[in-house]
Structure 1
Amino acid sequence: MLMLFVSSSAFARNGKGRLMGLVADESGKPLAGITIVLQPDNKRAVSNAQGKFVFDGNLYAGTYTLTIDAIGFIKYKQEVAVADGETSSVSIQLKPGGKELNEVSVSGVHSNPDNFIDMIRTAMPSKVISRQEIEMMGSRRLDEVLKEQTGLAIVNDIGSGSRAVGLQMQGFDSGYTMIMIDGQPMIGRNNGNFDLSRITVSNIERIEIIKGASSCLFGSEALAGVINIVTRKNINHPQAMAALRYGSFNMVDATVEGETPFAGKKGSAYLSGNYYRTDGFNANPYLNQGKTAPPFNSLAFQGRGRYLLSDKSTLNFNGRYVTRHSDNNISYGVQPTKDVLDEQDLNGSIALNNNFGNGLKLKSQYYITRYKTQQNITDLNSGVIMPGNSFEQYIHRAEIQAGKSLSNVLELTGGAGAAHESLNNNAYRGAKSMTNYFGYVQASWQATNNLSVTTGARYDYHDRYGAKVNPSMGLQYHMFKNLTLKAAVATGFKTPNFQQLYMVFTNLQTGYTVLGSEEFWQEIKLLQDAGQVMNVFPSAQNIGNLKPERSVSYSGGFNYSPFSNLKFDVNVFYNDLKDFINSERVAVKTNGQEIYSYMNIAKAYTTGAEIGLNWSATRSLNLSAGYQLLYAVDKGVVDSIKNGTGLYAMVYDTEINKPRRSTRKDYVGLNNRSRHMANIKVSYTHEKSGLSGSFRVNYRSKYGFMEDGMANKFLDPYDTYVRSYFLLNAAVQKTFYNKHLQFQLTADNLMNYRDQLMPAQQGRAIIAGISWRFFKDE
């Protein structure tokens, strides 16, 4: 590979060009002190008193991207061509205010008034999914978008119920990825799993993904990474949209949204409403009645407001309210039950943004989120109502952020705040709460023309777990014009959640019991006094005060563009995790049912590589592909196998029908992780005709589901696996009447792949949609 890079550089043309230009406002008045950035070389120039700037004759021939991000103006972006030995010139007019909403490009603007931290310039690898890409996929819910991205998988936690569906990133369980909306954390998890189908994509402007430990900026739960949902904002013109889709499983998706400036464009408002319903679907042929993915209907309302108090101060409002109702009659032919779940999800914030004349930005924000559920399970034979999961969770969060460019090569972003979390759950003994105080800083430094450095650190003080400091550092080096090397290291942590600390729960349908570590010894004594405990295992002695989980993430790779229309990127990662919190079987009741609790027992790591390819074959045709190789290993299992002692020293070999000494080859890795995942997408956009579409293929290799036969507590070749599979998806859109009217046809899972071990994987779905956009033709 190194020889390829050197040879491609050696064959580069020797001539160099020059670029100069003029920056002015809408009225043509020259603007001084404006920083102009030229990518991919990341060269910078500053306009003088006459608004002029110049990049001297050291530019290789080719196409560059020129960007300007100046306070008080719409972020500017333009492709410029530089020829050998020639001087190219550009004339730029900056427009005041925010950028237009109705046009969002794949490589568009990433700035966000809700959070000064640029998600794309953090130390760890990142990716942006634009609104255009979401629309071309024909996706309706957030899980449908993310499951087609490289390195991400939507997984089921069947032991926690049919609704326990979450996102796996770089081999981490879904409880380790922070889900954010406009830079603020969302809550409401089922055993750590955040059901992404709760979130409609109708009002999403883009999705920002950070892979790897991100606690250095975002705190607990960001041990594996961050998904940040950015909603529509920055309105300049009145416009509205109405859309309706209908398809398989009686799916209905209806959206109405509108936005307008007011008070002479000093203010703006955006409102949207979405109704979604589905009959659910069944992936289990042994299920006599009901659905493995329950039917539900949902109402979502989103509103944003912005008002310019002065030329330096802006007041922002944001609100979101979602309800979801699910009713599922289910029977495996033994005990039919009715499972009813009602959910309410509320998010709201108010923020004051100040842009001072010296380049200092300051934001003060208060944020509140509430998630409430009520679940009842009814035995349809007897009519007895069994208590289900019922809880109400709040987060109150206050935060101050600041950002300033100290020079043309150094930019600082920092913040401080506090968050108070409370939860009232029928599975816990009374209401519980936690408080966290935090401060963080991120610095972006252009050390040389070719080297940029991003560093960050976060200090957290938790009222239960004391102080934690998490640093990070990332480097980018432009070795050649078409080759950029990247490397990063970051630390992460995750505090134990309420369930792991305080849960006291017995499943009345099956009889098993789960006890949080803080409640275990008190509750186990009550059960013993009642004569309900037959045996407490020696491993229970390890149950005590849980420690936060810690990780260190390493990543490195490169971006290579041998041609202007071809991009190739590689990233290798290693995540080292210690004080891993695991649920363990620690006792048996007299009725034969088991008792579980939580303890810090294991060290683990995930490692692998991600490869991406993007080829713009023509102006209309684009091909992209991605691949992830993953190894997820529990170090405790490996050590036990090597030493021939402990819980994992023996394996039951079904070929010889008896136990034998286990070997390293017997250990496959952690459950529910595929060694190989890949995706291919072909997209077509013909601007003149208004025709666009995409065809996508997603592959996942086999992965371990559960132990089979004689259990030996680790995944071996003799256990139960979900076989490898392909999913084929397609979508086509056609616009009419100057983009006012659009028709769309979507086909998901064309081959109708289903597996009873994947209860959330729907069969073939055909959806048709129509939308009308209301806006004034230019």
Structure 2
Amino acid sequence: MTGIPIGSQEVIFSAVGYERLKLRLQVLPDSILDLHIHMKESRNSLSEVVVTGTMKEVSRLESPVPVEVYTHKFFQKNPTPNLFEAIGLVNGVRPQLNCNVCNTGDIHINGMEGPYTLVLIDGMPIVSSLSTVYGLSGIPNSLVERIEVVKGPASSLYGSEAMGGIINVITKSPSKAPLVTADVFGTTWEEYNVDAAIKFSGKKFTSLAGLNYFNYANPIDNNNDGFTDVTLQNRISLFNKWDFIRKDKRLATVAFRYVNEDRWGGQMNWNTEWRGSDSIYGESIYTRRWEMISKYQLPFKEKIMLQLSYNWHDQNSYYGILPYMANQQVGFAQLFWDKDFGEKHSFLLGGTMRYTWYDDNTPGTLSADGLHDAPAKTPLPGVFIQDEWKFTNQQTLLLGYRYDYDRYHGSIHSPRVAYKWSPDKNNVLRASFGTGFRVVNLFTEDHAALTGARQVVVNEELNPEKSYNSNLNYVLKVPSEHYYLGFDLTGFYSYFTNKIVGDFDQDPNKIIYSNLNGYAVSRGVSLNTDLSFNFPLQLLAGVTFLDVYQQADRGNGKQKVVQLHAPKWSGNYLFSYTYKKKYTLDFTGTFSGPMRLPIQKNDYRPAYSPWFTLANVQLTRKFTNGMEIYGGIKNLFNFVPKDPFMRPFDPFDKTANDPVSNPNHYTFDTEYNYAPLQGIRGFLGVRYTLF
């Protein structure tokens, strides 16, 4: 080893995202040292590289936009088969199940509904519209390197659907991935999950191929309502990513993913023979999905990047007797110029084109005369610009603007400004203001309600939803010789106008769409804390306070309506301790305060949920050969919601109009949900990594 003086020396190794490693070496004359260095991932993630906030690779500490980063190691502390379940450990992010039968779900950020959350894969808007219903369950954790979360509107860079926030799934790089990985686990509910990946390479490429298989085929009805507590699923997901070696280290990558899933839920004696019948109730969904993502640096002196993505999503489903057949294709292209004018001035200029093709068997995609099929075709071009100035080592200003054109809504403008002040390395203050927008596709978001019995009515020329957002973030690091203590405090306020709502009550034969005569607000405070000691103990805790509501005129003056499924208080916690570098004990969980729930008139069920927590415990044994064995208990306190169904004994409402047996005119309902119906269960798994 050259450069190290002879004698006893202390050598320090450092790398972005890893803890510094100090070694005491005895260097002899003419000695050759062959060192194999194994570094731990840093518990202080502020040094990690992030891309979501500004579309440029910067350290999290330097980013003027607050970005939260969670690595795959974080999600292994409570192993789950997909992203939808895993993301629940993030403070302020809530995976919400919207149906107790088919387990359809979406992801809420700061209390805003799922359509306001943009899910990206490697920066590409792959999961959107139709695919948000079941596509989130098809993203396996095996392909995830890290997840970046931006809370609050980000339309100035990412356009429509980014009004509530962004979840960017950064997939593993083939060149940096292990040679072989495998992760297999099962639960006492007879759920089985297999994740496996292998890397191979040639002279001009490195490729990573992965497989995820999940199976749950054991109907359970612990609450004795006659329905499955959890949707049965049989899903396979294949993933393949290629990195190509090019001249001057220019980037070229392409990735493919295929998902095939068969899921059903319903009455315990249902099988495919009853699909679509009115004898035994079941909800059966067949999903097929293809995705392609690519990124290519053009062969110019300037850094010009071309990004392309395409997804094809097909859904064949029956909700009781109601068929829903839909197909969606989304193509996306983005070209941007990334330019640095010196060390303190960064510039970004780009253009995008998004094209959505959508067809289903509802009135939403019929011609005006109702005689033939007329798929919805939605082009959405846009341009964006971002200018970032670092005035001093302590101050950074970011200005951004985006222009989009929609053929129905016309021109849409989305500016933003962000400012970062860091007086020293332990204090960071960020402030931002911006606007967001969302061009709404009515039919992909309310497809379950669009039946042949209802006529879709638009009483006015709908304007795009707009938001005005402000955000104040403060990060405090308290390093010490014996511990590290970190605080991340954020206050946010978003004001929404032109919210598009559907009126299902005015006429039972119609859905009448209009812009909300009023406004909506999402405001609150979020705090994340991190306490790590110089011995292997780490404590994480987060809490979020929300106030999310609409102020609307419903004909009798303006009234405040609290947002459904938006608890005022929620949070997460994590305790992790490692003994002798072999055994790790993880105690993780989330908690939630009361949230408003969808109820019927004269409903006997509470309008608000109770306080509850979902806790998990796991013990992991690590071996020197790359093997890990882990096991534990999920939902440790066995919390399960009460009365999830209304009238489960009459799912087809055959006797709903009987005034004697049903004086309150209740109807079958599956949407009264605030927590999973799956109770306590054990799990056991094995994980293997070969570098």
Q: TM-score, normalised by structure 2?
A: 0.81
Structure 2 counterpart of 1:341, which letter? Answer: I
For residue 605 of structure 1, report the CA deviation from its aligned partner. 0.4
Confirm whether residue 151 of structure 1 aligns to residue 61 of structure 2.
no
C-alpha distance in 2 between matches for 1:679 and 1:274: 27
Match of 2:438 among 494, 499, 519: 494
For residue 501 of structure 1, report the CA deviation from its aligned partner. 9.6
Structure 1 counterpart of 2:343, which letter? Answer: N
Deviations 1:422-478 (A, max 9, x none): 011111312111001111123332111211122222111223222212111111112
Deviations 1:466-503 (A, max 9, x none): 22121111111123453222211111000121417996
Deviations 1:681-703 (A, max 9, x none): 111245x6333231123210111
Aligned residues: 615
Q: 1:596 is matched with which residue?
A: 511
Q: Retained in 1: the 8 A contact 2:228–2:268?
A: no
C-alpha distance in 1 between matches for 2:288 and 2:597: 32
Confirm whether residue 273 of structure 1 aligns to residue 211 of structure 2.
yes
C-alpha distance in 1 between matches for 2:54 and 2:65: 17
The within-5 A match list for 1:6-85 is 79=20
Q: Which moved more, 1:438-447 or 1:745-754?
A: 438-447
Structure 2 counterpart of 1:205, which letter? Answer: E
Q: 1:294 is matched with which residue?
A: 231
Q: Which moved more, 1:483-492 or 1:174-183?
A: 483-492
Structure 2 counterpart of 1:364, which letter? Answer: L
For residue 409 of structure 1, report the CA deviation from its aligned partner. 0.9
Cα separation, partners in 2 of 1:710 and 1:123, compared to 1, 3 Å: farther
Q: 1:117 is matched with which residue?
A: 56
Q: 1:216 is matched with which residue?
A: 156
Cα separation, partners in 2 of 1:548 and 1:114, compared to 1, 3 Å: closer
RMSD: 3.5
Confirm whether residue 164 of structure 1 aligns to residue 104 of structure 2.
yes
Confirm whether residue 722 of structure 1 aligns to residue 609 of structure 2.
yes
Q: 1:706 is matched with which residue?
A: 598
Q: 1:37 is matched with which residue?
A: none
Match of 1:398 among 317, 327, 333: 333
Confirm whether residue 433 of structure 1 aligns to residue 377 of structure 2.
yes
Q: Retained in 1: the 8 A contact 2:290–2:313?
A: yes
Structure 1 counterpart of 2:539, which letter? Answer: L
Q: Retained in 2: the 8 A contact 1:614–1:625?
A: yes
Q: 1:612 is matched with which residue?
A: 528
C-alpha distance in 1 between matches for 2:17 and 2:319: 56
Q: Retained in 2: the 8 A contact 1:503–1:515?
A: no
Q: Which runs of 5+ in 2 are unaligned?
A: 4-11, 23-36, 271-277, 367-373, 645-671
For residue 210 of structure 1, report the CA deviation from its aligned partner. 0.5
Q: Retained in 2: the 8 A contact 1:517–1:545?
A: no
For residue 295 of structure 1, report the CA deviation from its aligned partner. 0.5
Q: 1:646 is matched with which residue?
A: 556
Confirm whether residue 455 of structure 1 aligns to residue 399 of structure 2.
yes
Confirm whether residue 240 of structure 1 aligns to residue 186 of structure 2.
no
C-alpha distance in 1 between matches for 2:446 and 2:573: 44
C-alpha distance in 1 between matches for 2:326 and 2:56: 33
Q: Which moved more, 1:140-149 or 1:476-485?
A: 476-485
For residue 517 of structure 1, report the CA deviation from its aligned partner. 4.0
The secondary structure found in structure 1 opposite 2:74 is helix
The secondary structure found in structure 2 opposite 1:208 is strand
C-alpha distance in 1 between matches for 2:585 and 2:537: 10
For residue 594 of structure 1, report the CA deviation from its aligned partner. 5.3
C-alpha distance in 2 between matches for 1:555 and 1:704: 25
C-alpha distance in 1 between matches for 2:306 and 2:131: 33
Q: Retained in 1: the 8 A contact 2:130–2:444?
A: no
The secondary structure found in structure 2 opposite 1:721 is coil
Match of 1:352 among 293, 296, 320: 296
Q: Which moved more, 1:478-487 or 1:140-149?
A: 478-487
Cα separation, partners in 2 of 1:66 and 1:366, compared to 1, 3 Å: same
Q: Retained in 1: the 8 A contact 2:183–2:688?
A: yes
Q: 2:67 is matched with which residue?
A: 126
Q: Retained in 2: the 8 A contact 1:566–1:613?
A: yes
The secondary structure found in structure 1 opposite 2:460 is coil
Identity within the alignment, %: 19
Cα separation, partners in 2 of 1:76 and 1:109, compared to 1, 3 Å: closer
The secondary structure found in structure 2 opposite 1:499 is helix
Q: Retained in 2: the 8 A contact 1:423–1:431?
A: yes
Q: TM-score, normalised by structure 1?
A: 0.72
Confirm whether residue 179 of structure 1 aligns to residue 179 of structure 2.
no
For residue 557 of structure 1, report the CA deviation from its aligned partner. 2.9
C-alpha distance in 2 between matches for 1:416 and 1:349: 17
Structure 1 counterpart of 2:307, which letter? Answer: Q
Structure 1 counterpart of 2:72, which letter? Answer: R
C-alpha distance in 2 between matches for 1:240 and 1:412: 39
Q: 2:137 is matched with which residue?
A: 197
Cα separation, partners in 2 of 1:475 and 1:244, compared to 1, 3 Å: same
Confirm whether residue 681 of structure 1 aligns to residue 574 of structure 2.
yes
Cα separation, partners in 2 of 1:420 and 1:611, compared to 1, 3 Å: same
Cα separation, partners in 2 of 1:111 and 1:480, compared to 1, 3 Å: closer
Cα separation, partners in 2 of 1:80 and 1:247, compared to 1, 3 Å: closer
Match of 2:587 among 669, 674, 695: 695
Q: 1:471 is matched with which residue?
A: 415
Deviations 1:585-625 (A, max 9, x none): 3543xxxx553332102311011100111111333111111
Cα separation, partners in 2 of 1:245 and 1:517, compared to 1, 3 Å: same
For residue 237 of structure 1, report the CA deviation from its aligned partner. 7.5
Q: 1:575 is matched with which residue?
A: 494
For residue 163 of structure 1, report the CA deviation from its aligned partner. 3.2
Confirm whether residue 731 of structure 1 aligns to residue 618 of structure 2.
yes
Which of the two has higher C-alpha Rg? 1
C-alpha distance in 1 between matches for 2:251 and 2:528: 40
The within-5 A match list for 1:283-432 is 285=223, 287-288=225-226, 290-330=227-267, 335-354=279-298, 360-376=302-318, 386-427=321-362, 428-429=365-366, 430-432=374-376
> Looking at both structures, which has the greater relative contact order when contacts are Cα pairs under 8 Å and sequence separation is at least 6?
2
Deviations 1:343-369 (A, max 9, x none): 012111333225866xx4221232111
The secondary structure found in structure 1 opposite 2:115 is helix
Q: Retained in 2: the 8 A contact 1:152–1:168?
A: yes
For residue 245 of structure 1, report the CA deviation from its aligned partner. 0.9
Q: Retained in 2: the 8 A contact 1:472–1:490?
A: yes
Q: 1:671 is matched with which residue?
A: 564
For residue 111 of structure 1, report the CA deviation from its aligned partner. 5.4
For residue 260 of structure 1, report the CA deviation from its aligned partner. 2.9
Cα separation, partners in 2 of 1:272 and 1:503, compared to 1, 3 Å: closer
Q: Retained in 2: the 8 A contact 1:101–1:233?
A: no
The secondary structure found in structure 2 opposite 1:252 is strand
Cα separation, partners in 2 of 1:648 and 1:354, compared to 1, 3 Å: closer
The within-5 A match list for 1:551-562 is 551-562=467-478
Q: Retained in 1: the 8 A contact 2:18–2:41?
A: no
Q: Which moved more, 1:322-331 or 1:220-229?
A: 322-331
Match of 1:746 among 621, 632, 635: 632
Cα separation, partners in 2 of 1:123 and 1:171, compared to 1, 3 Å: farther
Q: Which runs of 5+ in 1 are unaligned?
A: 1-25, 29-63, 68-74, 82-99, 379-385, 519-542, 650-666, 712-716
For residue 109 of structure 1, report the CA deviation from its aligned partner. 4.1
C-alpha distance in 2 between matches for 1:229 and 1:118: 15
Structure 1 counterpart of 2:257, which letter? Answer: R
Q: 2:647 is matched with which residue?
A: none
Structure 2 counterpart of 1:408, which letter? Answer: E
C-alpha distance in 2 between matches for 1:506 and 1:734: 51
